[in-house]
Amino acid sequence: MALIFDRYKDRLATFPKEKGWITKNLYMYQGFWHQSSRRISVETVMALQDTFKAHPTDTYLAALPKSGTTWLKALVFALVNRNRYKDDCFSTHQLLV
């Protein structure tokens, strides 16, 4: 991890910086304030953006906690996989139409 973070140290010095109340420093990156010494630090965000490759078949579901995430996940699964279960006894289900 130290090698990864060393790649971004020079860029980190150019970002606006404020004193944080939980962590030592906060850095402004792409319009958001990020902590400097947590698991999801500015360096981590930059490394993820440089290495992440999305695939055409990827589906992302984002929801706030306690907002029906489990129900929403089940609904998305049913919609994505509805063609797989056409020959089952539930072939008249509304999600299959």
Q: What is the residue range of 9's domain?
A: 2-51
Count of domains observed in the chain: 2
Each residue of 34-60: b (16+ CB within 10 Å) or e? Answer: bbbeeeebbbbbbbeeeeeeeeeeeee
Residue 25 in this model has a pLDDT that exceeds 90: no
**What average pLDDT score do residues 7-15 get?**
83
pTM of the predicted model as reported, rounded to 2 decimal places? 0.54
* 31: nearest Cα among 15, 19, 8, 44: 15
- Cα maximum dimension of the chain: 62
Task: Tell the residue number behind the tokens 């992302």, with chain if given.
Answer: 60
Q: What is the mean pLDDT of the chain?
A: 81
Domain co-membership, 47 together with 60: no
Residue 5 in this model has a pLDDT that exceeds 90: no
Domain co-membership, 60 together with 46: no
